Structure formats: structure tokens, C-alpha cells
Structure 1
Amino acid sequence: MNRIVAFFLLACCGVFPAHAETVNCTNLTTLPVTISTQGVYCLKQDVSTAITSGFAIGIATNNVTIDCNGYKLGGLAAGDNTMTAGIYANNRLNITVRNCNVRGFRQGINLAGTGGGHVVENNRFDGNTYIGVHVSGDGSLIRGNLVFATGGSTNLGQGLATTLGIDSRGATNIIDNTVWGTTPMVTATTTTGIGVGDNVDGTVIGNRVSGLGGTSNRAVVLYASADRVRVVNNSLSGASWALDCDDAGGGVAKDNTLESGGGLDGNCLDAGGNFLIP
């Protein structure tokens, strides 16, 4: 499809051209699998696993792209007690994950540790029991994902007692994601739509967070020394706080639509244009 046709479809009809399937790639056909060679990997069919710990796809090198071409990476058979990550990497650089439908894991994707330069875009994370998306590392981008129905784990395990749709560490940019229906883990009461930690001068732009469960929930939380994070043009709904800044000056809020009892936390810098739905 040439650029003129693509532009016409967008300008006239409000639609984007269909995503072309990645074909020049290594097809992942069985799980679990560890990727140890740099390159482009893909799915050309749905794949699933019933393992209850470890990971479905592990990445043990830098500069890896995973394109699921819209196919499903499934872990529902492990149940709500699962401790498995759908896609996992630790201390890696330049990991890209796109066009995946990741379902039924403890963490849909967990790019942990040091490193950075990651891109997680245009995925659907559905029915993961603790965290939909976790990305650590400066210069990373989390964009255009649907994070749906996260929560319900019966295994608190290690970590926070708070279910999170999206969680990030480092100077990341979180742009144009939809987070809906985040519910607590069993015996817990707290949920967070988007958590942003250790982030200096990053951005949270154009996201939509709603449908949070639990007795204490926050749409966006800036925590763990977040500083001057730009929170712009988001639609945020949380019963406790729509936007919560743990530290003074941790966030600069502008042009957001907020719905909650708390609205905009006083630690956040109000740059104007923020509307609190009465």
C-alpha cells in the first residue's frame, strides 16, 4: 500500500491500513522457549502453555524483536495461582514486543532489571493475574496497548500487594494506552492503573484508565523518586486518586480529565487545564 492510499484512508475514513504480517522472522512454535540469538521472532499461529512458573518466552540477549502478528500467547491453563511470565527478559537492551495477545500469566510481560531502550507497542494484555505490563529501563516506550482485566491472583508471592495494569521503572514514555478492569489479588484491596517509578523527565500522555476495582485504587501513581514526569491529556478515573504523586514535584499535570474523590494530589504540580468531573 503506497503512502497516498494510506493517507487517504486515514484522512477520509479515520482508519489505518491493516498491519502487514512479519514474514522474515523465526517462527516460535512451542513453549517454553528461550531466545539467545539477536534477531526478529514471530508467531504465525496461537501458542499456549500450562507451566506454573518461569516464563513462556524468555529473552537472554539484546536487540530482539517479537512480533506476534496478532496471534495469542496463552497461559490461562495454569490458573489463577500461576507464577509464570508471558514474555521475560532481565538486564537487556533494545527489546521490542508488538502485536501480541498475551493472556493468563502472572505478568503479561516483564522486562526487568537494568538496561533500557525497550518498545512495547500495539499489544493486548488480557486476564493476567498481577501485572499486565512491567518495563524497566531508561529510554523505553510503552505505547498503544490495551491492558484489560488484570488481577485475581491467588498467589501473593513476592512483590507488591497491588495489582497494576502498567508498571514502569526508569525514564520511560507511556503513551496512548487503555487500561480497564484492574481488580485486586485475592485477600488484597488495592489496584493501580499505571505506576511510574524512578522516572525523571518522562511522560504519561494520552492514556485512558478506568474500571479499577478494590477499596483503594489510583489511576496513575508517580512513586519511588519520580521527578518532573509530564502527565498530559489523560483520562483518569480512580476512586482514591486520579493522579497521585508520592513526592512533591514528582509530576507536572496538564490538560487531564480526572474523576475521583481525590482528584489531583497536592504533591503534583498543576500546570493548568485539568478538569475534575464533579
Structure 2
Amino acid sequence: MRRLVPLAGAAISLLLAASSASAEVVDCTPIETVPVVITAQGIYCLKHDLATSMTSGTAILVNTNNVTIEMNGFKLGGLGGGTNTTAYGIASYSRQNVTVRNGTVRGFYNNVYMSGGLGQIVEDLRLDGARGNGLFLAGSNLIARNNFITNTGEGAGSSASGIYVDTGYQVSITGNIIGSVSETSTSNGIRVEFAEQSVIDSNEIHGVIGGGTRNGIYIGSGDRNVLRNNIVTTSSGSTGIGAYSSSDACVRNAVTTTFVTPYTGCETSRENDSY
């Protein structure tokens, strides 16, 4: 497996001055092939589309702190691994300050997987065709914003989520659009377990389908989370918004009455709408 060494010295200073996610980052350490392990901090980027047929392991593994992966609008593809793949697209474990932005990841079991870390940001991605979860997060002070997550599920497992947070402290999930989550047992647009003081705001979830339980937004055990300004639609489903942790607040959300239960839980419920 190839290991990357970042640009050093003055080049790093130029990279840190990159002005926006939409502008192409050219002064960076290019990721040319996968699988690859990133072992030194810095800014890394794609200069072209990458693809793999791996069925296990991780295409891009971040194995250090303070790393930005700028995808520059390019694609990391894993569809060659097939429907039963267990491979991950981009992953980090117990790392700090990892950012992934501005590109497409498709066809892995978990397209992006950030577990046990601090200060991660995942933004402006198209996460398509994940067999398990479009985006998996666990840790503290995490941000998932402005991602477009589509066609999730129908892989080796029996449950799937567009975004899955498993144990999160002060997590912000904002401005994401999630469409077509389908699995045999449980399908969730956004699933959050054991979260505290987190905010789920201004997301759109459309088309939670498949068999079994179908939830738009599901919040399990935790404490004092806020769900605000979310829109949840489907042709038929189980629960639109279910917020079961302690002292959850649901404010100004809109859920279609095509769910058997549009709202449940929500110890504080204000200005929510069913239509």
C-alpha cells in the first residue's frame, strides 16, 4: 500500500491560504492511486478521478492528525467492489482535525467513515451508492454540511443510513440533502445514537424506502439535541422524525403524513408541521 509524504515548507503555507472549497487547489500533495495511507499532516488533493475494485479495506486511510483532503470536484469510485463490498472510501480512526471536501465518493460500504475523532469536517460532497452508510461519524465537535447523499443501501447488511452518527458530542449536521435510502430491515435518512448537545438543522430527506422500518430522522439515546427546520418526505414510511433522547427539541420541522407516525419523542415540540 502506497504511503504519501506531503509537500513541506513554503508550499504548506500556500496551501493553508486556499480561499474556498470551490476553487481548485493545485499546490498540494496529489493522491495518484488507491489504496493509500496518509501518514503526515498536510493538504492532499485529487487531480483526476480514481477508482478501485477492492472489496475490503480502505481506499484512502488518514492515519494522522491535521489533514485536509481536497477532492477538487473529482470522484473516488468503488462500484467495482460490487454490492457485497465491505470496503470504505475515505476513513480515519481517532484522529483530530480531518477535513474532506468538494468531490464525489461512490459505491463503497461506507463512503466516508470518521470514527472516534475530534474536529472533523465533511462538506460539499456527493456521496452516491453507498451499500451501508453514505457518511458515518463518531466523536466530538464534528461537522457534516452541504452534502448530497443518494441511493444508499442494498448491500451486505440489513440496515442503511444516509448519515449515521454513533456516539457524538456537539455534532452539527446541517444543509444536507438525502435521497433514496433502502434496505431490507431498517432504512434511515439520518440516524443518531448516543449524541449530546448536537444540532440537526435545515436538512432534506426524501424517499426512505425498502422493507422493514423506515425513518426520516431517528435520534436514539443521548441528551439535549436540537432538530430544527428539517424537511422529511416519502411515499410511505414508519416515522418521520423520532427523537427519543433526553430533552430533545423539535422546532419548525415539516414531515409528510405519508409516515405512519410523523413525529414522536421530541420533549420540546414547537411549530412543527405535518402535510
TM-score bracket for the superposition, by shorter chain length: 0.7 to 0.9
Deviation at residue 247 of structure 1 after TM alignment:
3.4
- What is the aligned length? 249
For 2:251, give the aligned amino acid.
K
Report the secondary structure of 1:77's partner residue.
Answer: helix
- Give ranges in structure 1 of 5+ residues lacking alignment: 1-16
For 2:263, give the aligned amino acid.
L
Say whether 1:103 aligns with 2:106.
yes
Name the counterpart of 1:21: 24
Of 245, 255, 260, the residue aligned with 1:258 is: 255
Name the counterpart of 1:151: 153
| Residue correspondence of structure 1 range 166-181 to structure 2 within 5 A | 166-168=163-165, 169-171=167-169, 172-181=171-180
Q: Deviations over 1:170-202 (max 9, x none)?
A: 121000000001111xxx232000011221111
Measure, in 2, the Cα distance between the counterparts of 1:68 and 1:268: 38
Q: Deviations over 1:76-110 (max 9, x none)?
A: 11100111000011111111000120011000011
Measure, in 2, the Cα distance between the counterparts of 1:38 and 1:163: 32
Name the counterpart of 2:142: 140
Q: Deviations over 1:121-146 (max 9, x none)?
A: 00000011110000111100000000
For 2:274, give the aligned amino acid.
L
Name the counterpart of 2:126: 124
- Give ranges in structure 2 of 5+ residues lacking alignment: 1-19
CA RMSD after TM alignment? 1.4
Measure, in 2, the Cα distance between the counterparts of 1:248 and 1:89: 30
Measure, in 2, the Cα distance between the counterparts of 1:164 and 1:116: 22
| Residue correspondence of structure 1 range 1-278 to structure 2 within 5 A | 19-112=22-115, 114-153=116-155, 155-156=156-157, 161-168=158-165, 169-171=167-169, 172-184=171-183, 188-215=184-211, 216-223=213-220, 225-237=221-233, 239-249=237-247, 251-259=248-256, 260-265=259-264, 267-277=265-275
Measure, in 2, the Cα distance between the counterparts of 1:104 and 1:214: 18
Distance 1:18 1:33, change over 3 A: closer
| TM-score with structure 2 setting the length | 0.87
Deviation at residue 34 of structure 1 after TM alignment:
0.3
For 2:110, give the aligned amino acid.
Q
Amino-acid identity (%)? 34
Report the secondary structure of 2:209's partner residue.
Answer: coil
The runs of at least 4 consecutive aligned structure 1 residues that moved more than 4 Å come to: none
Deviation at residue 244 of structure 1 after TM alignment:
1.0
Report the secondary structure of 2:263's partner residue.
Answer: coil
Deviation at residue 18 of structure 1 after TM alignment:
9.0
For 1:149, give the aligned amino acid.
N
Deviation at residue 270 of structure 1 after TM alignment:
3.5
Deviation at residue 23 of structure 1 after TM alignment:
1.2
For 1:83, give the aligned amino acid.
T
**Which is strand-richer, 1 or 2?**
2
| TM-score with structure 1 setting the length | 0.86
Distance 1:91 1:182, change over 3 A: same
